[in-house]
């Protein structure tokens, strides 16, 4: 068993008075010493409510106190489970049940939905409790989980460990050149790995500062960039698309030295648009299961090899199934190394299915490697698509659609979208005697699903193309568009 130091305590020892977080809404500055002290107190308070090893959900917008809770759970030996605040309570109920949640932390915005989950709750505040002493932890013990869904739509809790957090920090810090003098802006939702780990957690470990926005706000973000308040920036394609629509004439994008993108492929036109304005975006690839950083293209090749996600980073091993090591070719991308999750919490079947017999994580993506060792992602083996940086699983949408009284069957596919990267298209078979009204389906679905999961278009058909076994042939559905 390897040990990892109490990360908040160690950082506080190294740079106690330096700022770790700045709450953009309130102007409140959190030094590393303040974060550590608050985490030690909150950890002690949590242990007064639940025993060590318990699963603690958290429902909040982005705020420094989220990271206090994250470090509190490391100190207390608890497992934090960030919840997707975009989801209605009906969707969150099976999520909290899947990990046997004992307590729900919440900020003031989400007090009501937290209470509706039917579990004990606790306001996200710093108590006046005697702090826990610093203590090293097992590098492989579950620290927090991030939820993802398989093709069945059943939530899976991806285990994140201290080892993964530190290894990811090494990967992205050396790739981007992070230093203690850097400033990033935190706005991606904290129920996703990008919100936590790109670049906020690595920069915390490196001694830099994160400006925390409650959520994405394009004018505020543009103002921060214009003022030179950000030196390292990470966004998903939808964020870059939103910035493209704004007046950038007075903004010196080159003042921010590092730009990176992940979550989906960034269109070539977007890369060139920003490059002409002094922002060279490095495209990368990763998964919740890989901490997430696996690949990031280097600045020198960002334009010459547009479409590539670069090479495996320092703490990541990669191979292509069926392709000899080091040779060009294409195959399923397999990953290994200290950034890779040990599996899914309380789900041994899913864990076993995710790995090869010799311990490589199966990405579910087909990738190609060129003669220079650069990788690009060709396609997803699974049906999942990414809309605005959010993973959307068609089976999850289909399960809800077929509960509509006018719909007998549903099949959803992802299609390219200029703004969001991809959006969904739903093919529907009507129940006899009924006719689904596409205009009425969107508001009906919005009561049951998060907005980013809603299909952009609906097509009513007589039947689906099927295999001999009766399964829907989704590639054939694309031919109907």
Q: What would the pLDDT profile of 269-295 be if each residue is shown by its tens digit?
A: 889 999 999 999 999 999 999 999 999
| Mean per-residue pLDDT over the chain, rounded | 93
CA 420/CA 222 separation, integer angstroms:
19
pLDDT at 313: 98
CB atoms within 10 A of CB 38: 23
Average pLDDT in the 60-65 region? 98
**pLDDT above 90: percentage of residues in the chain:** 82
Whether residue 58 is predicted with pLDDT greater than 50 in this model: the reply is yes
Q: What is the largest CA-CA distance in the chain?
A: 71
DSSP string, 428-456: EEEPTT----HHHHHHHHHTTS-GGGS-S
Location of structure tokens 């790109």:
198
Helix (H, G, I), strand (E, B) or coil at 79: strand
Average pLDDT in the 87-98 region? 94
pLDDT at 266: 82
List alpha helices for 184-335, DSSP H: 193-197, 200-206, 218-226, 237-244, 268-276
The band of 321, judged by pLDDT with boundaries at 50, 70 and 90, is: very high
Q: Residues near 300 by Cβ (< 8 Å), separated by ≥ 6?
A: none
CA 183/CA 185 separation, integer angstroms:
7
Average pLDDT in the 186-202 region? 96
CA 211/CA 291 separation, integer angstroms:
22
The band of 10, judged by pLDDT with boundaries at 50, 70 and 90, is: very high
Three-state SS annotation for 254-280: HHCCEEEECCCCCCHHHHHHHHHCCCC
CA 121/CA 353 separation, integer angstroms:
34
pLDDT at 155: 78
Q: Residues near 26 by Cβ (< 8 Å), separated by ≥ 6?
A: none
pTM, rounded to two decimals:
0.84
CA 178/CA 206 separation, integer angstroms:
7
266 close to 281: Cβ distance less than 8 angstroms: yes
Look up residue 475 and give its two tokens.
């590639």
Look up residue 162 and give its two tokens.
């201290």
pLDDT at 467: 54
The band of 384, judged by pLDDT with boundaries at 50, 70 and 90, is: confident
Look up residue 343 and give its two tokens.
């599996």
Report the DSSP beta bridge partners of residue 385.
Answer: 392
Q: Residues near 140 by Cβ (< 8 Å), separated by ≥ 6?
A: 1, 2, 161, 162, 163, 342
Cα dihedral sign for 197, 254, 418, 449? positive
CA 474/CA 303 separation, integer angstroms:
34
Report the DSSP beta bridge partners of residue 211.
Answer: 22, 185
The band of 434, judged by pLDDT with boundaries at 50, 70 and 90, is: very high
CA 224/CA 199 separation, integer angstroms:
16
The pLDDT tens digits for 104-123 are 999 999 999 999 999 999 99
CA 286/CA 193 separation, integer angstroms:
10
The band of 153, judged by pLDDT with boundaries at 50, 70 and 90, is: low
Location of structure tokens 């025993």:
51
CA 474/CA 78 separation, integer angstroms:
42
pLDDT at 129: 96
**pLDDT above 70: percentage of residues in the chain:** 97
Distances (CA, A) of 285 to 195, 264, 376, 468: 15, 8, 9, 36
Per-residue exposure over 340-367, b if at least 16 CB sit within 10 Å of its own CB, e if not = bbbbbbebeebbeebbeeeebbbbbbbb
């Amino acid at each position: 068993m390897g040990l990892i130091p109490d990360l908040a305590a160690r950082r506080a020892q190294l740079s106690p008075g330096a700022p770790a977080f700045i709450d953009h809404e309130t102007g409140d500055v959190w030094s590393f010493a303040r974060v550590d002290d608050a985490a030690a107190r909150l950890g002690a308070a949590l242990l007064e409510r639940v025993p060590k090893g318990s699963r603690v959900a958290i429902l909040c917008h982005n705020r420094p106190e989220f990271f206090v809770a994250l470090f509190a759970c490391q100190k207390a030996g608890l497992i934090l489970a960030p919840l997707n605040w975009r989801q209605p309570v009906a969707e969150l109920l099976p999520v909290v049940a899947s990990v046997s949640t004992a307590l729900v932390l919440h900020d003031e915005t989400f007090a009501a939905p937290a209470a509706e989950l039917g579990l004990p709750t606790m306001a996200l505040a710093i108590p006046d409790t005697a702090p826990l002493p610093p203590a090293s932890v097992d590098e492989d013990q579950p620290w927090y989980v991030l939820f993802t869904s398989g093709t069945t739509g059943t939530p899976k809790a991806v285990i994140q460990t201290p080892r993964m957090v530190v290894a990811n920090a090494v990967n992205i810090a050396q790739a981007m050149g992070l230093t203690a003098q850097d400033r990033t802006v935190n706005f991606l939702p904290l129920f996703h790995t990008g919100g936590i780990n790109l670049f906020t957690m690595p920069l915390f470990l490196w001694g830099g500062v994160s400006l925390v926005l409650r959520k994405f706000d394009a004018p505020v973000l543009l103002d921060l960039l214009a003022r030179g308040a950000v030196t390292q920036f990470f966004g998903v394609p939808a964020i870059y698309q939103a910035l493209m629509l704004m007046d950038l004439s007075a903004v010196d994008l080159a003042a921010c030295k590092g730009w990176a993108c992940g979550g989906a492929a960034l269109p070539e036109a977007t890369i060139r648009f920003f490059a002409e304005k002094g922002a060279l975006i490095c495209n990368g690839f990763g998964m919740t299961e890989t901490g997430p950083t696996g690949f990031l293209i280097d600045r020198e090749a960002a334009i010459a090899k547009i479409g590539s996600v670069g090479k495996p980073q320092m703490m990541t091993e990669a191979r292509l199934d069926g392709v000899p090591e080091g040779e060009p070719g294409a195959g399923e991308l397999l990953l290994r190394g200290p950034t890779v999750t040990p599996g899914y919490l309380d789900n041994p079947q899913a864990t076993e299915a995710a790995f090869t017999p010799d311990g490589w994580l199966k990405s579910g993506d087909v990738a190609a490697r060129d003669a220079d060792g650069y990788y690009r992602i060709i396609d997803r083996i699974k049906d999942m698509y990414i809309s605005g940086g959010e993973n959307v699983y068609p089976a999850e949408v289909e399960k809800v659609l077929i509960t509509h009284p006018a719909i007998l069957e549903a099949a959803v596919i992802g299609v390219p979208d200029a703004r969001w990267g991809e959006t969904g298209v739903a093919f529907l078979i009507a129940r006899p005697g009924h006719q689904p009204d596409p205009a009425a389906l969107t508001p009906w679905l919005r009561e049951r699903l998060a907005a980013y999961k809603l299909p952009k278009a609906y097509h009513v058909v007589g039947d689906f193309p099927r295999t001999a076994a009766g399964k829907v042939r989704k590639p054939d559905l694309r031919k109907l568009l």
